[in-house]
Amino acid sequence: MSRVAVVTGGTRGIGEAISVTLKKAGYKVAANYAGNDERAKQCADKHGIACFKWDVADFDQCLKGVAEVVAKLGPVDVLVNNAGITRDATLKKQTRKQWDEVVDTNLGGCFNMCKAVWDGMLERGFGRIVNIGSINGQAGQYGQVNYAAAKSGIHGFTKALAQEGAPKGITVNAIAPGYIDTDMVAAVPPNVLEKIVARIPVGRLGKAEEIARGVMFLVADDAGFLTGSTMSINGGQHMY
């Protein structure tokens, strides 16, 4: 019996690579997204992945969305909390709205989605949750107090929930990607990006597939002793 995986923000960027890699490995995949119907359709047509639209920042939508996935694909065994946004500005210029949007989506979304799948995982005595954090949650980044706070929160959330899941067969881990070549990074001004790449020992941006590889390692059925950890996949940037 193949396991069911939900990947939030699973229709493009890192999430798409995770969805595709899980599908190739035999998982039944539900890729969630927020509003970009065109990219979701492309993802569905190209890879044959079931796509589901809801806002992870909205608690009720998450419950409804997961119920729909369960009805179509079956109970959720694997959850990858990948959906994330940036609304960069220095604290001086950052608005309360920019703070709320990022914290509600990147951290609140993780809470909402874990709540939506948790009881089912407890009942079945099995679950794999992977939360996508960020190197900027570990190290901070100029102009990203909202994003760094939310991503740093992901790492604490992961360690706390891992303790609740450990005796119940549910593992909870995080991945902290470095800079990965996706739409999100394409929004960084070229002169800033040049300086960022210069600080990556591997000498290039990461590929979305390189994050998916880490997810596969963490969600494996035989990875039950691996919980509460953060896997840094960043081209060696953490060595600075």
Q: Which residues bind ligand NDP (CB under 6 A)?
A: 8-9, 11-15, 32-36, 39, 55-57, 82-85, 105, 132, 134, 177, 179-180, 182-185
DSSP conformation class of 74: -
Using CB atoms within 10 Å of the CB of residue 172, give its burial: 0 to 12 exposed, 13 to 18 middle, 19+ buried: buried
Residue 139 or 226 with smaller CB distance to ligand NDP: 139
Give the pair of three-digit tokens for residue 189.
């001004």
Shortest distance in whole angstroms from residue 208 CB to ligand NDP: 6
Residue 13 or 127 with smaller CB distance to ligand NDP: 13
Whether residue 180 contacts residue 208, with contact meaning beta carbons closer than 8 Å, is answered with: yes
Residue 2 or 61 with smaller CB distance to ligand NDP: 61
Quote the CA–CA distance of 233 and 177 in Å, as a whole number: 5
- 36 φ/ψ sector (left φ>0, alpha ψ -120 to 50, else beta): beta
Whether residue 56 contacts residue 32, with contact meaning beta carbons closer than 8 Å, is answered with: yes
179 is catalytic: no
Shortest distance in whole angstroms from residue 6 CB to ligand NDP: 11
Shortest distance in whole angstroms from residue 169 CB to ligand NDP: 26
From the list 27, 33, 142, 147, the catalytic residue is 147
Angle at 195 between CA 189 and CA 201, to 5 degrees: 130
Residue 57 half-sphere exposure toward CB, CA atoms < 13 A:
13
Residue 196 or 223 with smaller CB distance to ligand NDP: 196
Shortest distance in whole angstroms from residue 168 CB to ligand NDP: 26
Residues that are catalytic: 147
